[in-house]
Amino acid sequence: MPTLVILDASLSMMRPLATSSATLDPATTETRRSVAQTCLCSMFDYIAANDRMEFGALVAYSSLYEVLVPFTRDLNELKKAVQSMDTYDKTLLDSVLLNMSNYVMEEWGSNTPVRVVLVTDGNPGIGPGSVKHILSEMSHQTDQSKNPLPFVFPSELHILLISSQSELAQSNALNLYQRLVDANENGQVHTPGEGALTVKSVQNMFMKYAESQHSVFSTTLHCGNLSSDVQLFPRPKVMTVEKDTEVMTREVGSDLQVCGFLDMGDAVSPPSVSRHLVIPYISKEKSETSPDAKDSDKPEEDASSSTTTEEGKTPSFCVLLHGSLKINGMVALVQITDDWYGILYSWADSKKKSNMMLSIFEPGSKAIPWLGKFTLLGPCSAFDQNPYGEDDNKTPFPVMPDAKRSYAQNPVVWIKNSNLQSDVQKILRYARKLPDKTQVFYKELNRLRRAALSFGMQDFLEGISQLLERECTLLPGSAHVDAALQLTHAAKLVKNSVYKEYDYTIAPLSTNFTGNT
């Protein structure tokens, strides 16, 4: 889950941390901003060590906002930006919250969950733009799409307040920020706790947040007598299951048990609630107890490098299973807990690199309808007659339809405004990368056209035509000549194809230009 850190850069962050002492030395007194910078750097180090696949971005805000570092996996860039940021004027939170929705939508779309971390001194502000004013405007706003919260993308809002309990009580800030989190429907407010505000209490607050959200989630994968310690990324969430008379919670435990194997064609495109990358995991305790790490004759640097080398040479059942699933085109059915299952399979994000993934289903033994109950599955040798019959190409699952299921077709869904906005932004992104993305641009354009005709949105296609014409006028001078020709051609055909048949395809313009500028 990508993490977006929004740091308060207003003047109130320059207040000293300890306000009770009358003899404060400005040269040596820690300010709330300096403590926030130190704690954020420590938090980024923790994420880099325990959540290496995490994307992070940094935004500073006061009356305006600035994206200091866009989403990246190089967390050292975030540390440099935190330490070198400037101080600005007063705090206006509504502007940054509204604009962050657009920023995240451009980067990740409307389907990727993003964790938003707001770091502030707890001052709710006064007048327009204050937290109280934001909540008041949200309660009176009839158009919910104009509210800063909830975000238009799946999100968790975590607010870290660098303020003592007495200060929060005086301004009623804790209640106001909690109402912000409640408006987002998911998240938490973090405070340093009871007692005086100290550097240590703030550090503990940041560390508790990091441990709860970015700690390594390790479990053990079992298959018969073979086992392997693995790490799941992103960290699985606790699931809530509503029964007829009670609400139950399910969470991934310390063991995953492989029950059996299925052909990939028998479990294609199953409905799942989450997907996780599965990688081998070697705990620090095992590394420290390895023979090379205990060798007192070697220097400390040599011991650590030797341990890393030994980790690469250690046999791993996880690697063996991944290679077997990839070569044989199969999936492994995994039991997570009682009456809760998932599948392990090889997934390739490029032609040269593949990873092992875990798709977790809804709790229950009938998560894949055409397979029936998982508890009734078994090997062919358990049957008196081969369920496949004499022809091995036959399938033992007669409810498996010949046609692809609807959720395997990647249909266009415009139930929310954010979905429509995401598809339009995808077209514009490819348009700005012409002519390199010509084929993908026209593929998405035809997909958008067919969807608009299906929903009876002819005026929407005219709007797309105007957007493409506008993009053509905004092309920089260094843009390829073919880009302007393709945009003009696409804008004209989109407008003229409003009343053409559904299966009509907009084809790229044939030009004599190459892809080189």
Residue 233 domain flag: yes
Tell whether 289 is covered by a domain.
Answer: no
Do residues 361 and 489 share a domain? no
Whole-model pTM: value is 0.65
What is the percent of the chain with per-residue pLDDT over 70, rounded to a whole number?
A: 83
pLDDT of 299: 43
For 428-475, the pLDDT digits (tens) are 989 988 888 899 999 999 989 988 988 888 888 889 999 999 988 888
DSSP string, 320-338: HHHHHHHHHTEEEEEEEET
**Do 334 and 323 share a structural domain?**
yes
Closest CA to 472 of 481, 460, 462, 461: 481
Rounded to whole angstroms, the Cα distance separating 106 from 91 reads 25
What's the pLDDT score for residue 403?
Answer: 57
DSSP string, 257-287: EEEEEEEGGGGSS---SEEEEEEE---HHHH
pLDDT band of residue 296 (cuts 50, 70, 90) is very low
The boundaries of the domain holding residue 50 are 3-17+29-214
102 and 235 both lie in a single domain: no
Question: CB–CB of 425/419 below 8 Å?
Answer: no
Report yes or no on 514 lying in a domain. Answer: no
Residue 115 included in any domain: yes
Is the residue at 124 inside a domain?
A: yes
Question: Do the bridges between strand 274-280 and strand 330-337 make them parallel or antiparallel, or are there none, so unpaired?
Answer: unpaired
Question: How many domains does one find in the chain?
Answer: 3
Tell me, yes or no, whether 349 and 227 share the same domain: yes
Closest CA to 187 of 115, 136, 124, 250: 115
Reading the block at residue 57, the tokens are 């971005």
Among residues 199, 214, 229, the one where a domain terminates is 214
Q: In terms of domains, do 132 and 270 share one? A: no
Q: Are residues 53 and 159 in the same domain?
A: yes
pLDDT value for 295: 46
Q: Does residue 376 sit in the same domain as residue 435? A: no
User: Which CATH number does the domain housing residue 51 bear?
Assistant: 3.40.50.410
Of 489, 488, 480, 485, give the one whose Cα is nearest residue 507: 489
Which residues, other chains included, contact 203 with Cβ-Cβ below 8 Å and sequence gap of 6+?
A: 35, 38, 39, 42
211 contacts 235 by C-beta, under 8 angstroms: no
Q: Which of 135-144, 172-181, 340-349, 475-484 has the lowest mean pLDDT?
A: 135-144
Distance CA 236, CA 363 (A): 14
Query: What does the longest C-alpha to C-alpha distance in the chain come to?
Result: 91
State the CATH number of the domain containing residue 266.
2.40.290
429 within domain boundaries: yes
pLDDT at 140 over 90: no
203 and 62 housed in the same domain? yes
Q: Is 389 helix (H, G, I), strand (E, B) or coil?
A: coil
